[in-house]
Amino acid sequence: MAELTERPFPPGAYPLVVVGSGPGALQLTYTLRGMGIDHAVISQDDAPGGMFRKWPIFQRMLSWTKPFAEQKRGSREYERYDWNSMLGEEQDTRAIMPTVMDGTSYFPSRPEMEQGLATFAQRTGLQVRHGCRWEATRRLEGGDLVLETSDGEYRAPTIVFAVGVSQPWRPPVLDLEGVEQYGDLRPAETYRDRRVFIVGKQNSGFEIASGLLPWARQIVLASPSPAQLSVLTHSLVGVRARYVQPYEDYALAGGVVILDASIEKVERDRDVFHVTTKSAHEDHPRHFVADDVIAATGFTCPLLDLPEIGVATFGQSRLPAQTPFWRSVSIDGVYFAGTIMQGSQGLRKHGIPSNSGAVQGYRYNARVLARHLAETRFGKPRQRRAIKPDEVIPLLLAEASRGPELWHQRSYLARVVSLDRAEGIFDEGILPLAHFVDDSDGPDAVAITLESNGQDPPYPTAYIRRRGQTLHERSLQPADILLEYDGPAYARELAAALEPVLDQALTRVTP
Amino acid sequence: MEVRPDVVDILSGFALFADMSTPELENIVQTFGEVYFAEGERVVRQGLTATGFYVVLDGGANIVVGGKERGNLRPGDFFGEISCLLGEPPTADVVATKPLRCLVLAPHALEEFLVANPHVMYRVLQGEARKLRTTTKWLS
């Protein structure tokens, strides 16, 4: 019992509780603390970053950190090149990842990522009640929520769940003893000279196949639709380049089979599996004999009983449907952080999703969420910076050129400047684009984003909102491969687009 | 966002995907993404580019032009195809009237999808013909 009382955040009533201790939870609690928001943090894991202990074979992140870049390490602009560090305010809490990586890869290893998170938590003095497992949830009359945990009950009007999307999912056809699952594989050498059938052609399937290339006798990768490649989609949609080697093996007829077919049947006969597939392009089924069958068929959110208390979910991952500020669309007081934030989908322009499923995306969401919670749940007004009229266009173009939030969260997070007729011109900071475009009651304002269309280099797009009028959208062209958008041609183009709304604001701020 | 396994069963009941085999439907399901909108949420915004081609799985939505309701959408209906095909911003808002689940395809992927699935293309054309007929009646 002595140990229980020494741990932070004992069970009880709090204004806000954060569940989790991954990067999303750490970034959120750090930012909340900086705003003076009283809250508790609980986690079932024994140390920060529990999910990073569950990767097979390569044990590396898919997000990179470049130790050397044009921008000074530790600067805000450098965050574009360092996808994995947490965002601190003090210099020794910034750009930690390049200081803990050994230089053999720019994808951090699992131990390096864990060390980076632990270093951030230690240097910032973040407190988490580790070893405290959330087990059930109740909603009280009046709206408060109660978390039943292994340590006792926590009651709060606002709870943020940052519990990852890490629960392996497999379709019923693979629900068979002996079928293995991504995250739970044997050591690579135990697949020596074996026939391996992998179901799923996304990163997890290709990651396993890449790791088994030196060991397996035959590798089959199968799922109904063709594999996409990130180098062709120009986004994080598709298989990342570092796991494309099995594709080349297949293309050069080296022995790997990549099959567009549904899995009709999997049967086990003593030591082997018989797999039957059916392709839309062939009129007969195919039969494979495999020594191992591995499900790389995706993950779901470990939401426990949240759907039963009314949290709406969607998609195979059972992601909670969320507002632009990451609140459950169906239950007040329930918010999400970390990789679950991808359930707030934004505008998905050109079909490209946000990067909210990855550290480099959700670390910025966490800061926006913290500010939103402070404003809406704790009555702390948002800090806005008054700016002069001639600062507007340089600020917007500088953000489009070097703002890490816009670079990592294309067409999802925006830098907003309000041009209010009564109050003047304010830098409103970073906001979700979906909120901005649908906030018809908001003041006249402009939001700048960086937009990808899957073909060209990213280009700035401005959204100009005027009361009582349809939102106006203006993309600045041509796209520049170096993302240098603060030259005079772009300034002239943006100035022309902003002229009507900026002129109105000018008449209010100029005596 | 990947789609739920029950979507294959839902699609098999839609006219748009009639006569398609289970492997073909599974392929379609993996080609599309699944999206969810709360009641009152805008799915497509008038004037904003690069949205997508949507098929309603569950729920309902209104088509709103200049603030006026011009039609409604039910499970099996599709929308967004004109904007995708012409590469122009939508001329209407689509607003969820109750929790809405849709399949969505990126604008640039629609051409390849329709060419690869001529039966679906034919039924999309039938849909366009009905819309044209309705518009013609409305104008006359």
Domain ranges of chain A: 11-166+300-376, 170-297, 385-509
- Shortest CA distance from B113: residue in chain A: A225
The answer to whether B129 faces chain A, any CB pair under 8 Å, is no
Window 250-289 of A, Cβ < 8 Å to B: 260-262, 278-280
Mean pLDDT of chain B: 90
The tens digit of pLDDT for each residue in B70-111 reads 999 999 999 999 999 999 999 899 999 999 999 999 999 999
Tokens of B45: 């915004």
Report how far residue A385's alpha carbon sits from residue A428's, in angstroms, rounded to the nearest whole number.
Answer: 7
Look at residue A300 and tell me whether its pLDDT is greater than 80.
yes
Chain A CB contacts of B37 under 8 Å are: 321
Give domain A170-297's CATH superfamily: FAD/NAD(P)-binding domain (3.50.50.60)
Structure-model confidence comparison of residues A367 and A225, the more confident one: A367
| B76 φψ region: left (φ > 0), alpha (ψ -120 to 50), beta (else) | left
> Residue ranges of the domains in chain B?
7-139
The tens digit of pLDDT for each residue in A441-493 reads 899 999 999 999 999 999 999 999 998 788 899 999 888 998 899 999 999 99
* Chain-chain contact of A351 with B107 (C-beta, under 8 angstroms): yes
Answer yes or no: CATH 2.60.120.10 is held by domain B7-139: yes
Closest CA to A58 of A109, A105, A106, A100: A109
The answer to whether A194 faces chain B, any CB pair under 8 Å, is no
The tens digit of pLDDT for each residue in A1-35 reads 444 457 999 999 999 999 999 999 999 999 999 99
The answer to whether B19 faces chain A, any CB pair under 8 Å, is no
Report how far residue B27's alpha carbon sits from residue A224's, in angstroms, rounded to the nearest whole number.
Answer: 5
Chain B CB contacts of A346 under 8 Å are: none
Going by their DSSP bridges, the two strands B53-65 and B78-79 should be labelled as antiparallel
The answer to whether B80 faces chain A, any CB pair under 8 Å, is no
Going by their DSSP bridges, the two strands A257-260 and A218-223 should be labelled as parallel
Buried b (16+ CB within 10 A) or exposed e, A281-307: eeeeebebebbbbbbbbbbbbbbbebe
Question: Could you tell me which residues come within 8 angstroms of residue B33 by beta carbon, excluding any fewer than 6 positions away?
Answer: A315, A348, A351, A353, B1, B2, B3, B103, B104, B105
Look at residue A55 and tell me whether its pLDDT is greater than 70.
no
Window 341-370 of A, Cβ < 8 Å to B: 342, 345, 347-353
| Residue A424, beta-bridge partner list | A420
The tens digit of pLDDT for each residue in A331-345 reads 999 999 999 999 999
Fold annotation for A11-166+300-376: FAD/NAD(P)-binding domain (3.50.50)
* Chain-chain contact of A473 with B106 (C-beta, under 8 angstroms): no
Neighbours of A484 (CB within 10 A): 12
Alpha helix (H) residue ranges in A252-322: none
pLDDT at position A435, please? 97
Q: How far is A48 from chain B (nearest CA, A)?
A: 27
The tens digit of pLDDT for each residue in A171-188 reads 889 999 999 998 889 999
Q: How far is A348 from chain B (nearest CA, A)?
A: 7
Among B4, B30, B52, select the one facing A348 at the smallest CB separation.
Answer: B52
For testing the chain A interface, which of B26, B43, B51 should be mutated: the one with the most A CBs within 10 Å? B26
Q: How far is A224 from chain B (nearest CA, A)?
A: 5
CA-based R_g, chain B, Å: 15
The answer to whether B116 faces chain A, any CB pair under 8 Å, is no
pLDDT at position A510, please? 43
Helix (H, G, I), strand (E, B) or coil at A461: strand
Amino acid residing at A443: P
Among A223, A279, A323, select the one facing B30 at the smallest CB separation.
Answer: A223
Helix (H, G, I), strand (E, B) or coil at A509: helix
Chain B CB contacts of A471 under 8 Å are: 45, 47-48
The answer to whether A57 faces chain B, any CB pair under 8 Å, is no
Chain A CB contacts of B35 under 8 Å are: 314, 345, 348
For testing the chain A interface, which of B32, B36, B51 should be mutated: the one with the most A CBs within 10 Å? B36
Report how far residue A250's alpha carbon sits from residue A206's, in angstroms, rounded to the nearest whole number.
Answer: 12
User: What's the rounded mean pLDDT across residues A105-115?
Assistant: 93
Residue A420 pLDDT level (bands cut at 50, 70, 90): confident
| A468 φψ region: left (φ > 0), alpha (ψ -120 to 50), beta (else) | left
- pTM, to two decimals: 0.94
Same fold, A11-166+300-376 and A170-297: yes
User: What's the rounded mean pLDDT across residues A388-414?
Assistant: 96
Chain B CB contacts of A347 under 8 Å are: 45, 48, 51
Chain B CB contacts of A172 under 8 Å are: 5
Closest CA to A432 of A335, A346, A358, A319: A346
Chain B CB contacts of A438 under 8 Å are: 41-42, 45
* Chain-chain contact of A353 with B1 (C-beta, under 8 angstroms): yes
Asked if residues B72 and B63 have their Cβ atoms less than 8 Å apart, the reply is yes
User: What's the rounded mean pLDDT across residues A384-413?
Assistant: 96
Amino acid residing at A432: P
Report how far residue A230's alpha carbon sits from residue A248's, in angstroms, rounded to the nearest whole number.
Answer: 15
- Shortest CA distance from A224: residue in chain B: B27
Residue A382 pLDDT level (bands cut at 50, 70, 90): confident
Among B4, B46, B50, select the one facing A453 at the smallest CB separation.
Answer: B50
Polymer length of chain B: 140
Look at residue A53 and tell me whether its pLDDT is greater than 80.
no
DSSP string of chain B, one letter each residue: -PPPTTHHHHHHTSGGGTT--HHHHHHHHHHSEEEEE-TT-EEE-TT-----EEEEEEEEEEEEETTEEEEEE-TT-EE-HHHHHHT---SSEEEEEEEEEEEEE-GGGHHHHHHH-HHHHHHHHHHHHHHHHHHHHHH-
Q: How far is A223 from chain B (nearest CA, A)?
A: 9
Residue A504 pLDDT level (bands cut at 50, 70, 90): low
